[in-house]
Structures are given as C-alpha cells and as structure tokens.
C-alpha cells in the first residue's frame, strides 16, 4: 500500500557537526575531502539516509563511522532544503550536531576520513551550505548550554571547575569571573566533588568533580532548571 506513489522522491543527506573541547578551546571535526564532489575542500561529515533506518539512526551511524563512538549526545539541528544547496544533485540534508569528549574519539577512524579538529574561530570556508549549518549549530549550542547541562558531554567524566569554566568561556567567547562562576555552579547542587585532584595542569592541583545526572533529574522534576 502506497498512497503517495505520484509524489517526487529525493535523496536525503545527513550532515554531522562534531564539537569537541580541549586545552585549546572549542573545536569542530572537519573533513578535508579526498573524494568527489568538492574534493580538496573542507566539509562536514555526511552520509545518506537508507530505506530501513530512521533519520536519527542515520545520523548515529554517520557519527559513529567517523568517531567510533556509539552513544553520544546528538541533537537534530534541522533540515536544509534549498533546491541548489548541493550542486551534485538535489539533496535535502538533515543536519545534526554532536558533543563529544575529544579523548574518546577513535583516532584511526578520524585519520581514515581525513578529518581534523579545527578551533571554532579558525573554521575555514566549507562546501555547500555547511558554513551556515555550523553557524546555526553554534547558536544552538550556546542557547542550549545556557539552559541545560549539555556542556558536560564535551568533558571527560571527571573534570575540574577551572576546566568547566574554560569550557563555558570557549562556548560563549567571554571571560567569566571565577568566584561567580563557581558560586553559581556549586549552588545548583548537580556537581559531585571527588576526593581526587587533577595535578596535571597546576602544582596545587584542582579537585575533580562529576556531573550527577540522577540528582539533576530529581531537581528537574521539582521544577529546577539549569542555567549558566
């Protein structure tokens, strides 16, 4: 049974923006294309939707293919559907962005796809409408990170408060006051202080914390909302 047999059919693409964070700041995982079309140019990682999978599944598949990570934080950004957006052929693309802990990437895979981590303020021009996608993704990340605890997906499980602060500073491109930042973060009661210290980045060492998701969910049930 097919009610819509007279309707036009389209290729559906899935393009993925991968955010990462390290000591140098916020970064994107971009491909220097060694394949056609637009060989030699920079682009996002992409793929095509297959018949037997959902659009979300396709995005997961593409993201996992590049990063080796099966379960990651991922959100749909939206569909990009200009007629001429892809000169190769008419393709409607559904764009996703993912937040990953940069240490978890599979470096083999990343090399295989000729992908590189590029600082957010040094992103080159990208093919098609991919620059627009990145722009929107950054806006979305900023909005989202300011009202929901998604930023933690960019960090390892254990992180220090100075590290967390650098993350938010990288996302918003502003400098934050150390005392006010800590006060606010700790006041939300969703961070759990660990015994252990990170002695890598300073002599004194900074205490590790971890995000307590159960606690967060409990608070949300009672009307709490995260905000930085």
Q: Which two tokens stand for residue 27?
A: 């970064």
> Hey, CA dihedral for 153, 174, 95, 33, is it positive or negative?
negative
Site for its own copies contains 220 (CB under 8 A): no
**Binding positions for its own copies, 32-51, rule CB under 8 A:** 36-37, 48-51
Q: In which residue are the tokens 């627009």 written?
A: 132
Q: For residue 126, which of 33, 209, 190 has the smallest C-alpha distance?
A: 33
**Pairing between β-strand 42-43 and β-strand 206-211 as defined by DSSP bridges:** unpaired
- Which CB sits closer to DNA, 116 or 224? 224
- Indicate left, alpha or beta for 212 from its phi (over 0: left) and psi (-120 to 50: alpha): beta
Quick one: DSSP state of residue 93? E
Site for its own copies contains 62 (CB under 8 A): no
The interface mask with DNA, positions 18-57, x = CB under 7 A, is ----------------------------------------
Note whether 94 and 12 are within 8 A (CB): yes
Site for its own copies contains 3 (CB under 8 A): yes
The interface mask with DNA, positions 162-191, x = CB under 7 A, is x--------------xxxx-xxx-------
Binding site for its own copies (CB under 8 A): 1-5, 7-12, 36-37, 48-56, 58, 76, 78-83, 88-92, 94
Binding site for DNA (CB under 7 A): 160-162, 177-180, 182-184, 197, 199, 201-207, 227
């Amino acid at each position: 049974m097919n009610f819509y047999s007279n309707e036009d059919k389209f290729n559906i693409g899935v393009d993925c923006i991968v955010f990462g964070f390290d000591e140098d700041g916020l970064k994107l995982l971009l491909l220097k294309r060694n394949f056609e079309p637009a060989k030699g140019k920079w682009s996002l990682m992409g793929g095509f939707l297959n018949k037997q999978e959902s659009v979300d599944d396709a995005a997961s598949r593409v993201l996992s293919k590049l990063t080796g990570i099966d379960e990651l934080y991922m959100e749909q950004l939206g569909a990009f559907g200009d007629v001429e957006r892809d000169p190769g052929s008419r393709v409607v693309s559904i764009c996703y962005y993912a937040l990953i802990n940069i240490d978890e990437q599979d470096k083999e895979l990343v090399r295989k796809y000729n992908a590189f981590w590029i600082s957010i303020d040094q992103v080159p021009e990208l093919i098609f409408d991919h620059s627009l996608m990145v722009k929107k993704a950054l806006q979305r990340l900023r909005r989202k990170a300011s009202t929901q605890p998604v930023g933690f997906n960019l960090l390892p499980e254990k992180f220090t408060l100075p590290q967390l602060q650098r993350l938010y500073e990288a996302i918003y491109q502003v400098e934050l006051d150390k005392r006010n930042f800590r006060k606010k973060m700790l006041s939300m009661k969703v961070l759990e202080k660990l015994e252990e210290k990170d002695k890598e980045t300073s002599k004194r060492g900074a205490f590790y914390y971890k995000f307590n998701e159960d606690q967060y969910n409990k608070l949300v049930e009672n009307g709490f909302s995260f905000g930085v």
